[in-house]
Structure 1
Amino acid sequence: MSSLFAFMLVALAIVAIILMITCLRLNPFIVLMMVSIITALGAGMSAEQAVGAFEAGAGHVLGHVGIVIALGTMLGKMLTESGGADQIALTVSAWTGRRYADWAMMVIGLLVGLPVFFEIGFVLLIPIAFVLAARTNTPLLRIALPMCAALSVTHALIPPHPAALLAVDAYQANIGKCILLGLLVGVPVSIVAGPVFGRFAARHVQLTEDNPLAAQFVSKEPPAHLPGFGVTVLTILLPVLLMLGGSMADSMTLAGSGLNTFLHCVGNTDIALILATLLSFYTLGLARGFTRETVLQFSTECLGPTALIMLLVGAGGGFSHVLVQSGVSHAITNMALGVHMPLLLLAWLLAAVVRVACGSATVSMATSSGIVGPILLHAHNVSPELMVIATGAGSVAFGPMSDAGFWQIKEYLGLTVPQALKTWSVVETLIAVLGLVLCLCLSLVI
């Protein structure tokens, strides 16, 4: 398959998705499934292979993200029904005032996002964003986009996040310098892509669709008696702390020891989230006077509005897997490799191309750093640490529809497809471009 044909195939697929959802008003899940299969057939796969690739991709994504969304939604429901989200929102607004609430959400996103993947940080924090926006009478986009931008920046640019560690190993970079330079680049990028752009987007993009998720997370009036701020924060940060402990287990304990095994176990994404959810049933449920039957009702009824989100996230994963299995992603990657340019720019471009071709930022970082890493060994005067950051910046470029996160953001924030492209895709592109520009500037002095 030629690179030009692969590029045209992806471009036609993206245009078809946009037109069928926005103009024909077809269900997005049906559209993603149809376009994925047609794209696979156009790339030369048999019908059986095309359907199998879509099913495998959707199942793989849902096997992880579906569990995260379900547990995160239950935790969020307990947070809101108990008044915990109101407690955090009122405390944050008291500290910062309505004017700087978006900046506070950016800082919270940076802190929470360090040890966890984007989708986990998102489901933990989105209930707080909903409530904070409602209680301060602030547009949701102004609150949510800075939080999401910060989570994306930590995912891509700042070790010890698992995605960034892939590039650290491939480039044999110094992790301490990576963290320092990642913060030096990531903080200003978060500011521009977060509060600055968020305020602009909130003025120009009006949310028109009903949002059942926002409705279930925000009651008309906060409860008369709110849970304590400390216990609420401890409950929501428990999975973050457990995952951070799991990621640092090998450096703090002897490999293979009982404590090492325990830390890895409770630091597993699913284990950490289910422990936090169970804790919330007590701290934000039974301890607040709710009966066991009421807690069960909360944890059951909250899953209804997430059904379409899970289907769309799975379909996005299916579309991504089809592009990889059909060879389209590989052909587009080869096209990027044929362009001769400085290594920092090549790493960024390759990561951006893989991002568009397959959707996943983590896969993009792993693929591009694996390709460029051996080239870096023979290069001179190129900082491995800046290579890590440039690759990470490229890995989140464009926020394409092949990324399951695109559909997660769209559905949670109640956006139409054009609105998601004008907001979330722009946020991701700002992170990518500004990250590259700052890396190129730093390369002049490092």
Structure 2
Amino acid sequence: MSISTAAHSIGAQLATPVVLRQDDLTPAEKAAQPWTGQDTRLILVAVAAIALIVVLIAWLKLHPFLALILGSAFLSIAGGVPVLDAIKNFEDGVGGTLKEVGLLIALGAMLGKLLADSGGADRVVDTILRGRSAAAIPWLMALVAAIIGLPMFFEIGLVLLLPVIVLVAAKSRLPLMRVGIPALAGLSVLHGLIPPHPGPLIAIGALGAPLGTTLAFGLLAAIPTVIICGPVFSVLAAKWVPVGADSAPLFRADMQRASDGRTGSVTDGAGVGDPEAKRPPSFAVTLGTILFPIVLMLLKALADIIWRSEEANQVRVVLDFLGEPLVAMVLAVLLAVITFGRAVGFSGGSISGKLTASVGPIASVFLIVGAGGGFKQSLINAGVGDSVAKAAVALGVSTLLLGFLLAVVIRVATGSATVATTTAAGIMAGLATGLTPTQAALVALAIGAGSLFLSHVNDAGFWLVKESFGLTVAQTFRTWTLMECLISVVAFGSVSIIWAFV
């Protein structure tokens, strides 16, 4: 190539405008792009894929794991994603979900198994029920769940509370939803609105909102939301889905052991403790073991708040390590091996057997939760989240309502509260300039409220609740999904009322 030819080629390249790929754009820039036919196509394909999954599970009775795989394949192919990329997207989603949630579910199941077999869960239940009327139990469950849910991921809190929920429902003879819905509401509301949960922290960072103000307003909005969507809504949920504790897999497993002569029935007051447990743990020991991982995670959160600078601090380094959910749960299981194992009279072989047995019943949950994560990632990588963000921005509504609606549509499309919060906060960071610190805090909470809306088949939490309580897909929609919608709307209403007075 001659020098003149090379110079001409370089000049032509310099004269050509640089076109940014979609991957190079910020969330706000993507949302500001014009609506195209591809966006319409992606929305229609996403709706069709979700409908396909529901039909396969509810009508054709296909296992949810296979239905989610087929739904993901349809979504990617119809959405124009190359086949090899579609497979990788699904695998990445499964791996990412199980990496974050799967290990914690397994550790929580181990802790729950030792808690139940040692008689510790029975001790907690007896203490909660002693001298309490049936009408007070749902309120107590909401309070316990809210306290546990303060520093804890929703999935971990549910796994830890599940044995208690089932036993309380069985011994009090209350419908399972009357006890379970208040606990779910307490966990979910704290997860979406209150730091140090990742969603609220992401929104706070993106919008530059003050942490203390957001925390104070979040607690103010959380109280009425938990009350209305927990104990109050549980009355209706129990009528619409009148199932008892015997629908939960944990109850059925314990009843099977009872029929084999290994334990008493949870319905006759004998509890689910193993006869080998010669010295059941006291209430203080039981509560201390349950709260141990919560305290570690809370200390990590406090350390992150106190020492926000990046400078080295040995105390913060230690607390950050111990407060990581995986580390905290591993340490909690090791502690339970002592307090719920050796101390009550279990042999080493018996403890090992119980830990092994705890994983078997949740194998199906692993598959379903993982596949739900795969479907979520397929939605995200196909570009559905970007399309729904465009639609929300084009509505031209108020800043507070826009933050809420952005989170709602992205949550419905992707199934992830964290993704909804991250994307919506990224968009609002560029659109919410000029807000006061108080207004920024309320917009962050509005985004958190929207991120909880309409949990359905593309949400791993939907399947975790369904499998944990032994519900059908339709029953899960009438209880869990409706409760999440109610939480989202009530929380946003509470935030709007605060907005009107500040």
Short-chain TM bin: over 0.9
Assess if the C-alpha contact under 8 Å between 1:130 and 1:217 holds in 2: no
Question: What's the offset of the Cα at 1:380?
Answer: 6.7
Question: CA–CA distance in 2 between the matches of 1:435 and 1:3?
Answer: 30
Local SS of the residue matching 1:378: coil
Q: Deviations over 1:90-112 (max 9, x none)?
A: 11112533221111110111111
Question: CA–CA distance in 1 between the matches of 2:46 and 2:474?
Answer: 18
- Are residues 1:291 and 2:344 paired? no
- Are residues 1:247 and 2:301 paired? yes
Match of 1:215 in 2: 252
Question: CA–CA distance in 1 between the matches of 2:403 and 2:484?
Answer: 17
Assess if the C-alpha contact under 8 Å between 1:71 and 1:274 holds in 2: yes
Assess if the C-alpha contact under 8 Å between 1:131 and 1:217 holds in 2: no
- Are residues 1:103 and 2:139 paired? yes
Question: CA–CA distance in 1 between the matches of 2:372 and 2:439?
Answer: 35
Match of 1:260 in 2: 316
Q: Deviations over 1:189-209 (max 9, x none)?
A: 111111111121112213399
Question: What's the offset of the Cα at 1:12?
Answer: 1.1
- Describe the shift of the 1:72–1:7 C-alpha distance in structure 2 as closer, same or farther (beyond 3 A): same
Local SS of the residue matching 2:454: coil
1:69-218 alignment runs, 5 A limit: 69-94=105-130, 96-207=132-243, 210-216=247-253
Q: Deviations over 1:193-239 (max 9, x none)?
A: 11111121112213399543333367512258642111101101111
Match of 2:288 in 1: 234
- Describe the shift of the 1:240–1:381 C-alpha distance in structure 2 as closer, same or farther (beyond 3 A): closer
Question: CA–CA distance in 2 between the matches of 1:437 and 1:278?
Answer: 43
Identity of counterpart residues, as a percentage? 37
Amino acid at match of 2:321: C
Question: CA–CA distance in 2 between the matches of 1:210 and 1:428?
Answer: 21
Match of 2:487 in 1: 431
Amino acid at match of 1:394: G
Q: Deviations over 1:36-68 (max 9, x none)?
A: 011100010122111111111011101121101
- Describe the shift of the 1:125–1:210 C-alpha distance in structure 2 as closer, same or farther (beyond 3 A): closer
TM-score between both structures, scaled by the size of structure 2: 0.85
Amino acid at match of 1:55: E
Question: What's the offset of the Cα at 1:251?
Answer: 4.5
Aligned-residue RMSD, C-alpha: 1.8
6, 22, 25: which one aligns with 2:58:
22
Question: CA–CA distance in 2 between the matches of 1:361 and 1:347?
Answer: 14
Amino acid at match of 1:267: G
Identify unmatched segments of 5+ residues in structure 1: none
Match of 1:40 in 2: 76
Relative to structure 2, which stretch is displaced further, 184-193 or 165-174? 165-174
TM-score between both structures, scaled by the size of structure 1: 0.96
- Aligned pair count reads 446
Assess if the C-alpha contact under 8 Å between 1:6 and 1:332 holds in 2: no
Question: What's the offset of the Cα at 1:324?
Answer: 0.7
- Describe the shift of the 1:110–1:217 C-alpha distance in structure 2 as closer, same or farther (beyond 3 A): farther
Question: What's the offset of the Cα at 1:135?
Answer: 1.3
Match of 1:357 in 2: 413
Mark the structure with the bigger radius of gyration.
2
Question: CA–CA distance in 2 between the matches of 1:105 and 1:380?
Answer: 37
Assess if the C-alpha contact under 8 Å between 1:116 and 1:243 holds in 2: yes
Question: CA–CA distance in 1 between the matches of 2:363 and 2:345?
Answer: 29
- Describe the shift of the 1:273–1:61 C-alpha distance in structure 2 as closer, same or farther (beyond 3 A): same
Match of 1:68 in 2: 104
Question: What's the offset of the Cα at 1:171?
Answer: 1.7
Question: CA–CA distance in 1 between the matches of 2:39 and 2:53?
Answer: 21
Identify unmatched segments of 5+ residues in structure 2: 1-36, 256-263
- Are residues 1:440 and 2:496 paired? yes
Question: What's the offset of the Cα at 1:4?
Answer: 2.5
